Amino acid sequence: MIGTRGIPAAYGGFETAVEEVGKRLVERGHRVTVYTRGSERREREYLGMRVIHLPALRQKQLETLSHTALSTLHAITRKAPAAAFVFNAANSPLVPLLRGRGIPVALHMDGLEWKRSKWGARGKAYYRWAEEFGVRWADGLIADAPGIAEYYRTEFGVPTELIRYGAPILDTAPVESIRGLGLGLESGGYHLVVARFEPENHVLEIVEGYRASSATIPLVVVGSAPYGAEYTQRIRAAAEGDPRIRLLGGVFDQDLLDALYFHARTYVHGHSVGGTNPSLLRAMGAGTAVVAWDVTFNRETLDDLGWFFEDADEAERHFSALEGDTEIPALAAAVKERARAHFRWDDVTSAYEDLALRIAGGASVHPTARRVRRTVNT
């Protein structure tokens, strides 16, 4: 598994998928190698998976690609694995090297990264090019949401493997964890946001909407921005002077994060780019009612079981109404049941296993996809 920050999972959906799928593949008798960067833990094995630690350039545009390049060089100069999973379409230029070594490759395309505002014109153009390059070179293509699968079918006329993420199911979490923060938090007594501080995650609109609302219970915001100081300052300015708004920064203690999800009255999800979002799934698995940005990905994941907003004004109306809303317990139970039934890591693992076995056996979309071009100019 190549192209992520690796394991132990402490950041992002890719890393969680690598850990959850990888450990289950090991339990099923497979040998799994994960390339990792930046981990404070340097062990060579984790949950049965072999861990290879390699460096990366600490620069936004080059961090992922530089680490994937080193990982690819390492992989092609050792005994070839039966199959490789490469995560992130940005890493597609390295796929031909793996295939040239006789290693079949499944490329996880991620969401529509070129829509993210953190990338300038060159970055957006690169991601657009990398999508097409990846489609033309990989043996298998993974989409994590129906909307992403439809995008690749429409844009390129190629099939993808629809493989979602799993949702961790939480049936309990110690309330002492949130009380220990010293913020006066109680179970069911706060709204929660967990997101990287990027414009397409709409943390600013959520904070502005909450501030304008008549809500009395706190808004707890978990997140930071490795490359977004200006946007972070705008969020802080919007929250300044309102004692109801609690900016926690990044929280990397998984037990504490679980407790924050579990005991929240609502989880407010502003993500508008990407596919099936792990933060949303975590809230659903914790049995927390959801207020989500109104896009196809979020509606499909929730099956419309929630409240939706498109700007700060709509967020304000939800915050003002939610504290007395009697539908919250029923919706919370419904999203948890949906998570339990439709987003199972065992099913996700079976899909990865099946794809690996197929491409290792010679199946490939490459013969038909290698000459594709975009069919729609979006």
- The residue type found at 273 is V
Assess whether pLDDT exceeds 70 at residue 377: no
pLDDT of amino acid 304 = 96
pLDDT of amino acid 372 = 87
Please say whether the beta carbons of 176 and 206 come within 8 A. Answer: no
pLDDT of amino acid 114 = 62
Assess whether pLDDT exceeds 90 at residue 215: yes
The span from the CA of 268 to the CA of 289, in Å, is 9
**Residue 84, phi then psi, degrees to nearest 5:** -130, 140
- Tens digits of residue pLDDT in 142-173: 999 998 999 899 999 999 999 999 999 999 99
- Which helix or strand (DSSP H or E) is residue 337 part of? helix 328-342
Assess whether pLDDT exceeds 60 at residue 354: yes
pLDDT of amino acid 70 = 98
* 365 contacts: CB under 8 Å, gap ≥ 6: 138, 139, 140, 141, 158, 159
* Edge-to-edge strands, sheet with 140-143: 84-87, 105-108, 140-143, 161-162
Assess whether pLDDT exceeds 70 at residue 117: no
Tell me what percent of the residues of the chain surpass a pLDDT of 90.
Answer: 80
Q: Please tell me which residue, 264 or 57, carries the higher pLDDT value.
A: 264
Please say whether the beta carbons of 265 and 189 come within 8 A. Answer: yes
Mean pLDDT within 73-85: 97
- Tens digits of residue pLDDT in 249-262: 999 898 999 999 99
pLDDT of amino acid 240 = 97
pLDDT of amino acid 61 = 73
**Residue 23, phi then psi, degrees to nearest 5:** -65, -30
> Binning pLDDT at 50, 70 and 90, where does residue 82 land?
very high
